[in-house]
Amino acid sequence: GDSVTQMEGPVTLSEEAFLTINCTYTATGYPSLFWYVQYPGEGLQLLLKATKADDKGSNKGFEATYRKETTSFHLEKGSVQVSDSAVYFCALRETGGFKTIFGAGTRLFVKA
């Protein structure tokens, strides 16, 4: 079945550092890909999305590019802030379906 694998955390960075969180997927067809973010005590919220190969999703300085050849959707941000501290989930929506498969989540700590 479809699956999502993302790098284990926690990831600890200093403010203004560059962030990469790796995500790879296994799926048939052409799934839509997502990054969700979960702040402490809250539900998940959509950060960005991409629906087809080579699409780049972006929001709040975060970016991710849908790479079909490497089945990857890595999350990047050029300069992180303390307020970016959260858990980040990579996810895919199965082709032709409505279930969303979530990765295990990667916790990010940003130090001032």
**Interface ranges with another protein (CB under 8 A):** 32, 34, 41-46, 49, 51, 89, 93, 98-100, 102-105
Helices (H), ranges, 15-101: none
Question: Between 11 and 17, whose beta carbon lies closer to another protein?
Answer: 11
> Which stretch of DSSP H or E encloses residue 58?
strand 56-59
Question: Between 85 and 100, whose beta carbon lies closer to another protein?
Answer: 100
Question: Between 46 and 82, whose beta carbon lies closer to another protein?
Answer: 46
Expressed in percent and rounded to 5, the helix, strand and coil fractions of the chain are 5, 55, 45
Q: How far is the CB of 36 from another protein (least distance, A)?
A: 8
Dist CA 71 CA 26 (whole Å): 7
Contact 58, 110 (CB under 8 A): no
Q: How far is the CB of 99 from another protein (least distance, A)?
A: 6
Dist CA 37 CA 69 (whole Å): 25
Q: How far is the CB of 101 from another protein (least distance, A)?
A: 8
Q: How far is the CB of 68 from another protein (least distance, A)?
A: 17
